[in-house]
Structure 1
Amino acid sequence: MKHVPGLADEILQELAPLLAAEGVDINDPKGVDIDALRAALGPAMERRNMELFTPTGAHRTQALAVLRRFTEATAAGRADEAQAVLDGVETDETEDHPAISHVIGVTLDLLDSWYSDRRLRTALASTRVASRRRPVRACATDLLSAARRHTTFDSLDKLTVAHGGLILFEGGATLVAASIAAIAKRQRRKVTAICRDLLIADPEYASVDVVAAPDGRAEEAGRTTPADDRILAEFEEWLSRQPQIAAPTVEDEATALRAIFTLARTSGADLRNPHDIGTAVDLLVDMGTGDGRDDHDIMMSSLFALDEYIHFQWEISRRPENWDRAHDIVEDALSARDGGGQLADVVERATAVDPQLRRAALKNTRVSAAVPVLLEWLGTSRPISQSGNLRLADIEPVAAMLGVRAKGVRKVPPLAEVPATGFATDEPLPEPEPLFATSMRQVPVLWAWWQAMLRCDILETTATRVRPGPASGRWIDGGEPPIEGAEALNGLFVSFLLSERMFDDDQFGSGAAVAVLASRMLIAAAAPELGIGAPDDARSTILRPRALQLMARLELLGLLTRDASGTPAVPEGLKSAVLRGAMLVMDVATRGEGT
């Protein structure tokens, strides 16, 4: 993770007035209490989100007009026009146009309001989401679930991480249209009449450009848009002010980035959206995998141009933190293609370790040693919950097999819900003792073990029961599982444990960022020769206790040890499994997929 000088300070200074309202003065010469800062960050970020996503005055009216025009075009079956309405909304607002964030904010506010209104409850019960784009349909479905819980705005961060800002924008508009259609059908009124009542009376208030194209955004494939041209011109002007750039000349780098924008458009990606950077990276890497040196050189220069483009976005964006993950994706690609082969060499050497040493080390981890105990407890089969997990009564004995104190309960005792306080940023987040859980999913070590055994066919489930799987025989009665099976089990356990909260988000930061940070710490412990250092930026400092908590769990299971100086280390025979598990998480984080 690359530290960008001044970026953390800029973000904190932007939050300073909001933090001050929480009693934290970041400019206090006596220093800032880290616990107080941590406690204040959540409310401050929430209010900042409210400011960014809650337009007022003309911009709110313009956002409502966008939703009305989209809804009416959708209801009339004019899909191309509906898509063109959304295409006319850009990332930043102007005097006559709302920003994408404005439309998202208004959308979430409307959905929470409508779905909590008893007068609309019966009509909205029949809301059905429809979209010809699967990602939009998936996002709208998640939004519908949140709307029915009246938590759409509270779910903003989680939805953005899961789907990306642009898909959330389109998915929200799609759900607004579907909701109004359901109301109109129930009330036997026209959609336009419902739009006048619930959105805005004058759909022409906002001068959003509508130029219908045969396939909406797909019409832009293969060429840059006017919005692209504006951002590329700004990037070129920014480059001219930089003391040093990656390319020989400003013109060379600007030309390279324009080519990347055009290439991305061929896959429907919009590089003004940070969530689409991964698509561009994949395309560039695919182009650079040829045997020719020129292909590799073009790929590397393109990746460097993309990296500088993200630095440019950090400076101009109203929410620069949205580009952090995009930066990680580019940096990972650069590392993998320019010296990252060292890690592959480490894994290859770890796999070549004496098989007997590897077998003994893998057999002695709690992940492996507890398998025969579980299979004996399981017998021929046992009942499971409707979600396919252990029943509450079984959580305690099975967790104990891993050395974890956990108790399944229907309701968490009040005192158990009080968050731990007083821990330092260089210490792991404390584990509750015991851990009260209303489902197995809330016991991370147990859940990761269960998932790994299912993937390795040690267990298999039906709709109501769990039983030994086809690969269980070699683990029973002192059997000797194949080294590949033991390594797969331990490696998958590592990946599931590190990624357990990967796409969650809370007031301390992104769950994905914690997974990446812990994975890098684990790779550094397994391969110290790579010289991977710990990031020291403000965000990583805040996330560090959670990453250290994951490391502590691996130490509990015997997958991680400490040398004489107390530095984390991975036993020689476990390096292959541990590295593969951590690298899988890094790959998932880069591609934005689930394990």
Structure 2
Amino acid sequence: MQRAGVVHRPGLADEMLDELAPLLAEEGIDLNDPDADIDIDRLNVALDYATERHNLELFTAVGEQRSLALATLRDISDAVEQGNTARAGRILDTIEPDATSRRPSAAQLIGTSMELLDSWHSQGPTQAPLARLSVPQELGRGRSAAPDLLALARKGRAYASMNSLMRNHGGLALAHGSALLVAASVVALAEHEQTDFTQLADRYLPGAARSSHTSAAPGSAFGPAAAAAVSSQNFVTEFSAWLENNQGATTGNTETKITVLKAIIEQATTEGIDPHLPDEFVALWDMVDEFYPRHQAERACEVLHDYVHFRMDTDQDREGWEEAHNVFTASAEGDDDASAAVLDAVQAAEELDDEQRRPLVTELRIISATRELLNWIGTSQPITQAGAPRRRDIATVAAMIGVSAEGVATRPAHTDWDSLAEELGRPVSERQRVYVQSAKELPELMAWWTGLDEAGVIELTSTRIRPGPHADSLTSAAALSLDIADELISVYVAEIVTHPLFTTAGPMIRPIVTQTIARIMEAIVPDSNIVQAPRDGLPQLFHLRAQHELRRLETAGLVEFVNDEPVVPLAVRSPVMLGVMMASAVLESEDT
């Protein structure tokens, strides 16, 4: 389960509060005073201010952290210049929320990249040649954020717009987009100046550690590819000698192991993976898992395990190879008891016969309402430019899935905190009518809408909604496609769980999403006590908000409450778990 991204991290809320407490204290908010009468609006204002100050500290890299950020940008730039964007992406995948001795934190990488982009694109001799730079097609995950980043950098305002960029695009897109734009800028400057890339990168990324990039001398037949081949052969030769000298610690024939390693290296080269870099090892592991038959994969993993130990013993970057070795440790440990309990529960659900599942799934609100939606759509209906129901249609479409809502030009004032807390504990169908300015303010509606689109039941154009290629797959029990229904369920769960990451700003959002995931895992294995939900202090607010998200799933029929405890019905347990895994992957990618 951990390899799938389902991870519970205890104490995250306390860590954040410890970091924010001094900044809140400056605003007169003492979270440690049990007798303090804290006004919720004042607390929100103070949290916004403290979060802005906190983010400024997180995104500002100085000293060793800045050197690490520049070195990482240099590695990415080298890979882009060599045309190996896959390697650039793998380097970015090694960036974690917290800095390590080898890499900066994601926030530090983003902050450093934005500072460079502001400086290069808005002033000085680099401004004119970079004015012709367009957003590279190879940006991948960073492509959504790149146009905004580039436009703001040309005004010198990318770094100053950090908070709005984070809200609009998320940390993953910003990290990838800003770093790859830095790389594209360095490559463009080298081409403009007709200068050796290595020399130019040394100039524009000062203080960065020299990377593995090797430039060939002009006219030389021995370019980077030839140099890499020689280096690879040297490693193979040294590994062979190491095996001979450590026969007591390893098993098997040296010659056979070298043959296996050479085959792995050849395959890795074809896939654009450098097997001799620790940052590439996860990709190498995944390659073996994907391409090798089981018996060959086991043999290949044994050889790679020996190779990692060889590099740990002989390479200067021992820490990097120790991190690579964690792949074997995680594989050997397997799933813990809690994860095994969840997997057992899902396996039991998968043994349920399709004919037993079909009538149960057909009765789910998000499934049964599909026919009514398609009747409303007819041939087509107009939608907003954002791809959502128009304000005048919100009440009609939301009512189909049991949500009482109305689109309005001006929202009424929020209710008081006690009333709000009581409201959050009720099923969605029993709550008072919600007044919204946009359908995107209704998570249940947009999760259903997105799930139907992903499953092909509806089709969205820039201005209209119409029936999709799988429109008839959910309209009756006889016609029901369980594959389409399961896809809708999984996407619905993932959208409900992760929507706070994209609709709400602040440091408290991630622990709320983490708490929601933990509670759904509990609900998949009732009475298991997999995760003990906190019941006092500020964590109780997280618990309350997680309960609120589970109530959204209850409306869809994906969760039932028994004695106020959530239970995922057996018939939908498998697609709900897939939705949790999808949400966990999003959470990990947005953890910056």
Distance of aligned partners of 1:48 and 1:350 in 2 relative to their CA distance in 1, 3 Å threshold: same
Local SS of the residue matching 2:531 = coil
Separation in structure 2 between the aligned mates of residue 433 and residue 270 of structure 1, nearest angstrom: 61
1:162 has 2:168 as partner: no
Query: Could you report, residue by residue, the CA deviation over 1:155-195 in whole angstroms, capped at 9, with x for unpaired residues?
Result: 46456622475x466246358769999xxx9xxxx999xxx
Q: How many residues align?
A: 499
Local SS of the residue matching 2:530 = coil
Q: Which residue of 2 aligns with 1:213?
A: 214
Per the TM alignment, residue 439 of structure 1 is displaced from its structure 2 partner at its CA by: 3.9
* Long gaps (5+) in structure 1: 193-202, 225-262, 306-326
Q: Which residue of 2 aligns with 1:520?
A: 518
Separation in structure 2 between the aligned mates of residue 163 and residue 478 of structure 1, nearest angstrom: 41
Query: What is the correspondence of 1:114-129 to structure 2 with a 5 Å cutoff?
Result: 128-129=134-135
Q: Which residue of 2 aligns with 1:465?
A: 464
Per the TM alignment, residue 23 of structure 1 is displaced from its structure 2 partner at its CA by: 1.7
Q: Which residue of 2 aligns with 1:231?
A: none
Distance of aligned partners of 1:209 and 1:34 in 2 relative to their CA distance in 1, 3 Å threshold: same
Query: What is the correspondence of 1:403-422 to structure 2 with a 5 Å cutoff?
Result: 403-409=402-408, 411-413=409-411, 415=413
Query: What is the correspondence of 1:395-410 to structure 2 with a 5 Å cutoff?
Result: 395-409=394-408
Per the TM alignment, residue 540 of structure 1 is displaced from its structure 2 partner at its CA by: 6.2
Letter in structure 1 aligned against 2:444: V
Q: Which residue of 2 aligns with 1:440?
A: 439
Q: Which residue of 2 aligns with 1:557?
A: 556
Q: Which residue of 2 aligns with 1:452?
A: 451
Higher-RCO chain (CA-CA 8 Å, sequence separation at least 6) = 2
Separation in structure 2 between the aligned mates of residue 472 and residue 170 of structure 1, nearest angstrom: 41
Work out whether residues 411 and 436 of structure 2, in 8 Å CA contact, stay in contact via their aligned partners in 1. no
Q: For 1:573, which of 549, 562, 571 is the aligned residue?
A: 571
Separation in structure 2 between the aligned mates of residue 63 and residue 26 of structure 1, nearest angstrom: 35
Distance of aligned partners of 1:400 and 1:270 in 2 relative to their CA distance in 1, 3 Å threshold: farther
Per the TM alignment, residue 356 of structure 1 is displaced from its structure 2 partner at its CA by: 5.4
Local SS of the residue matching 1:407 = strand
Separation in structure 1 between the aligned mates of residue 276 and residue 107 of structure 2, nearest angstrom: 16
Work out whether residues 489 and 575 of structure 2, in 8 Å CA contact, stay in contact via their aligned partners in 1. yes
Work out whether residues 429 and 546 of structure 1, in 8 Å CA contact, stay in contact via their aligned partners in 2. no
1:351 has 2:350 as partner: yes
Distance of aligned partners of 1:420 and 1:278 in 2 relative to their CA distance in 1, 3 Å threshold: farther
Separation in structure 1 between the aligned mates of residue 140 and residue 149 of structure 2, nearest angstrom: 14
Per the TM alignment, residue 544 of structure 1 is displaced from its structure 2 partner at its CA by: 3.5
Work out whether residues 524 and 531 of structure 1, in 8 Å CA contact, stay in contact via their aligned partners in 2. yes
Separation in structure 2 between the aligned mates of residue 127 and residue 584 of structure 1, nearest angstrom: 35
Distance of aligned partners of 1:422 and 1:161 in 2 relative to their CA distance in 1, 3 Å threshold: farther
Local SS of the residue matching 2:28 = coil
Q: For 1:173, which of 159, 182, 192 is the aligned residue?
A: 182
Distance of aligned partners of 1:479 and 1:284 in 2 relative to their CA distance in 1, 3 Å threshold: closer
Letter in structure 2 aligned against 1:585: A
Local SS of the residue matching 2:161 = coil
Larger mean Cα displacement after TM superposition, 435-444 or 358-367: 435-444
Q: For 1:25, which of 24, 30, 41 is the aligned residue?
A: 30
Separation in structure 1 between the aligned mates of residue 108 and residue 575 of structure 2, nearest angstrom: 46
Q: Percent identity?
A: 27
Q: Which residue of 2 aligns with 1:508?
A: 507
Per the TM alignment, residue 371 of structure 1 is displaced from its structure 2 partner at its CA by: 1.5
Distance of aligned partners of 1:61 and 1:374 in 2 relative to their CA distance in 1, 3 Å threshold: closer
Per the TM alignment, residue 453 of structure 1 is displaced from its structure 2 partner at its CA by: 2.0
Work out whether residues 405 and 436 of structure 2, in 8 Å CA contact, stay in contact via their aligned partners in 1. yes
Letter in structure 1 aligned against 2:413: L
Local SS of the residue matching 1:460 = strand
Work out whether residues 457 and 469 of structure 2, in 8 Å CA contact, stay in contact via their aligned partners in 1. yes
Per the TM alignment, residue 397 of structure 1 is displaced from its structure 2 partner at its CA by: 0.7
Per the TM alignment, residue 507 of structure 1 is displaced from its structure 2 partner at its CA by: 0.8
Local SS of the residue matching 2:388 = coil
Per the TM alignment, residue 21 of structure 1 is displaced from its structure 2 partner at its CA by: 0.5
Local SS of the residue matching 2:406 = strand
Work out whether residues 3 and 536 of structure 1, in 8 Å CA contact, stay in contact via their aligned partners in 2. no
Separation in structure 2 between the aligned mates of residue 474 and residue 61 of structure 1, nearest angstrom: 54
CA RMSD of aligned residues (A): 6.3
Work out whether residues 380 and 464 of structure 2, in 8 Å CA contact, stay in contact via their aligned partners in 1. yes
TM-score for both structures, normalised by structure 1:
0.60
1:44 has 2:50 as partner: yes
Separation in structure 2 between the aligned mates of residue 339 and residue 205 of structure 1, nearest angstrom: 46
1:582 has 2:580 as partner: yes
Per the TM alignment, residue 399 of structure 1 is displaced from its structure 2 partner at its CA by: 0.9
Per the TM alignment, residue 575 of structure 1 is displaced from its structure 2 partner at its CA by: 3.0
Query: Could you report, residue by residue, the CA deviation over 1:283-328 in whole angstroms, capped at 9, with x for unpaired residues?
Result: 79779994599889989x99xx9xxxxxxxxxxxxxxxxxxxxx9x
Query: What is the correspondence of 1:68-217 to structure 2 with a 5 Å cutoff?
Result: 79=81, 104-105=110-111, 108=114, 128-130=134-136, 134=140, 140-144=146-150, 147=153, 152-155=161-164, 157=166, 161-163=171-173, 165=175, 167=176, 170-171=179-180, 173-174=182-183, 207-208=207-208, 213-214=214-215
Distance of aligned partners of 1:476 and 1:12 in 2 relative to their CA distance in 1, 3 Å threshold: closer
Letter in structure 2 aligned against 1:213: T
Work out whether residues 395 and 405 of structure 2, in 8 Å CA contact, stay in contact via their aligned partners in 1. yes
Work out whether residues 561 and 570 of structure 1, in 8 Å CA contact, stay in contact via their aligned partners in 2. yes
* Long gaps (5+) in structure 2: 1-5, 86-90, 196-202, 217-222, 233-264, 310-325
Per the TM alignment, residue 551 of structure 1 is displaced from its structure 2 partner at its CA by: 0.5
Per the TM alignment, residue 458 of structure 1 is displaced from its structure 2 partner at its CA by: 2.5
